[in-house]
Structures are given as C-alpha cells and as structure tokens.
Amino acid sequence: MRVLTRRSQLTLALAVAATTLCAAMNAGAAEPGAAYFAGKTVKIIVPNPAGGTSDILARILAPKLAESLGATVLVDNKAGATGNLGSDFVAKSAPDGLTLLLNDIGSLAIAPSVFPTLPFDPVKDFAPVGLVAYSPHILAANPALPAKDVKELIAMAKAKPNSINFAISGTGGANHLAGIDFAMRTGIVWTYIPYKGGSQAINDVMAGQADLLFNGMVATYPMVKAGKLKALAISSAKRFPGAPEIPTVAESAGLAGFETGSFQGIVAPAGTPAPVVATIHGAVEKILAAPDMQKRLQELGAEYRPGTSAQFGEFIKTEKARWAKVVKESGAKFE
C-alpha cells in the first residue's frame, strides 16, 4: 500500500479542488469559485506597516472580495526587510489560493537587484493574479522647504550636495529607486533616510525631520490636500486626472520618459491551480471595474489598469529588468 506524503496529499487535494472549481465555473455558477472558497478564510498579506498604499488598497478590497468569494478575507500586515519578510512568507505558503500577497510590484521587481541573498524569486516563486491599481509617486516636501518647484529643488541640491534629506519607506524600495533615478538623471546628491514604512516616512517629512520624499499618491495626496505636505511634482507619464494641478516630473525637470509609482498587485504562491488563480483574478477585476470603486480609486489618486494574469506576469518581468538597469547604472550600494 502506497503512503502519501503531506506534500502529495496537498497536491492531490488541490487537484480535486481545481477539478471541482472548473466544474462549477463550466456549470455557470452565480459566483465563480463559490464551490471552492465558500466558508474558507483567505489572508491578504501586506508586507508593509499599516497606513501605506498597499495596506489602504488591501483594506478597501478585502470586504468586497469576501462578498464575491463567499469567504472570510483578512488583511495581515507582515512588515520587515523592505517588504521581503512578508513576501517570503507567501512564497513559502501552501499553493491553495488562501494566502495572497498584495504588494508594490516595483518593490518585488527591485528586490533581486538590491538584495543578493533574497530568499525568494519574484518570477519563479509566485503565480501572478493581477494588477490592482497604479498610484503615481508624488514628490512631496515639508511646506517649509524653500524650493517652490522642481527646478528650484534641483538648484538647491546642486548648490549644497547632501544638504537635503530624502525620506524612503525602506532601503531598496520603489520610492528609494525613484529617488536614485531622479538624482542620477539630474546630477544631484542627497541623503537618504530609511524608515520602516511609507506612513512613517510621511510623518517625519510633515514634522520636518526629513525634507521630502517620493511616495505613492494614495498614502500621500491626502496630506498634500490638508496642507501638511507641499507637492512639487507627480511621477506619472502625464498629468494625473485626480490632481491636474500638479506638474509631472518629466515636464518640470525636462526628464523625458520619467515615470515611477506604486504598482500594487496580487500574487499567489507558485503552483496555485490555474482555476483558483482565475477565480481570484475574475473577482478582483469585477470589483475594480465597478463604478463605485472607479470613483473611490480616483479620489485616492489611483487608477485601475485592466489586464490578464499573464499580462501581469510579463509586467513583473519588465519591471525587474527596468530597475536592474537603474541599479547597475547608478552604482548604488544597499548594504
């Protein structure tokens, strides 16, 4: 008699579940995936502290996803190591669709270039589910900073190298690389001050402990509207519909093609059955395409970019190659 290992048992169980799910979908179930997810608990791991862009979007999405899947959906913040701690946790979780990662894909794609001993591979160890939203970075400063626009900021930085403190949500993260790319292109040098998350970085810039930062619009724009931060530029390719008064970095500094931001997306552990991934993707796309969610995202300073799971996977690969080039050209060290 053959005895199955725990891994074999899990693989067999997932195969049965996937077959059941396919049958339910082919039968035209009212809510695709109800047969698999109903009554279960899904955890969305956010690898950053509460209050950042990924956390805000996860908490907006969770109750709607719970309703769609017929499951309990919880948001769990597992912060540490610039998002790598929580990402590694998901990479090593059971590939059953019940543990998901919602993260800034820029950070996922950047990590291999800045952390040589990364314990996971963002391409091989995850199954892409879909892009949730794009939130451009705002180059925001403490209101007391003398520079009123990007040109004056560059002039200040060139006059006194390392005199400006640039807050980052973590060493080697997406907004750190945005600062490096900006500095490299403009020929300036400033001092990077690392924090444990975007919300802490924002708080210290507002308090005057740091001068400015690049950070996702979702977490940053409310502070600009409240007058607690001063927006110098936005990193989208063209002016953002939700904040048309803020000029782009490209037009302000003459940096053609400069575009950075928080590309929040959902991935599952590699090996998650395709029908399970398809069900989560379908539910998320339906939620994001709804008029009320479209309005909510625009109010936050984010936008929905529809696409397939396969397209999302290609996007991660493209971002990985893009930021590897920036890291190599900059010569930056992250130890």
Mean of all residue pLDDT scores within the chain: 88
Q: In this predicted model, which residue has the larger pLDDT, 23 or 74?
A: 74
The class (CATH top level) of 6-135+263-330 is alpha beta
- Residue 45, classed as helix, strand or coil, is strand
Query: How do the domains of the chain map onto residue ranges?
Result: 6-135+263-330, 136-261
Joined tokens for residue 78: 């597992």
Give the bridge partners for 214, in sequence order: 139
In Å, how far are 100, 228, 251 from 19, measured between CA atoms? 21, 53, 53
User: Percent of the chain having pLDDT more than 70?
Assistant: 90
Are 6-135+263-330 and 136-261 equal in CATH topology?
A: yes
Question: Residue 265: which of 295, 285, 294 has the closest Cα?
Answer: 285
Q: Helix, strand, or coil here: 222?
A: helix
Comparing 229 with 262, the larger pLDDT belongs to 229
pLDDT in tens, 163-215: 999 999 888 888 999 999 999 999 999 999 999 888 999 999 999 999 999 99
DSSP per-residue letters across 286-310? HHHHSHHHHHHHHHHT-B-----HH
What is the rounded CA–CA span in Å between residue 22 and residue 121?
29
Rg, C-alpha atoms of the chain: 21
pLDDT in tens, 89-142: 999 999 999 999 999 887 788 888 888 788 999 889 999 999 999 889 999 999
Pairing of strands 212-216, 126-141: antiparallel
Q: What is the pTM of this model?
A: 0.81
Average pLDDT over residues 297-325: 91
257 SS3 class: coil
Residue 81 predicted with pLDDT over 60 = yes
Rounded to whole angstroms, how far apart are CA atoms 93 and 172? 24
Pick the residue with more confidence: 166 or 83?
A: 166
Q: What percent of the chain has pLDDT over 90?
A: 66
Tell me, rounded to whole angstroms, the distance of Cα 240 from its chain centroid: 18
Residue 17 confidence (pLDDT) above 70: no
Collect all residues with Cβ–Cβ distance below 8 Å to 79 and sequence separation of at least 6: 47, 48, 49, 85, 86, 196, 197
Is residue 335 very low, low, confident or very high in pLDDT (cuts 50, 70, 90)? low
Q: What architecture is domain 136-261?
A: 3-Layer(aba) Sandwich (3.40)
Q: What pLDDT sits at residue 67?
A: 95
What pLDDT score does 293 carry?
95
3 state DSSP class of 173: coil
d(CA 13, CA 40) in angstroms, rounded, equals 15
pLDDT, tens only, 320-330: 898 888 888 88
**Single-letter amino acid, residue 111:** A
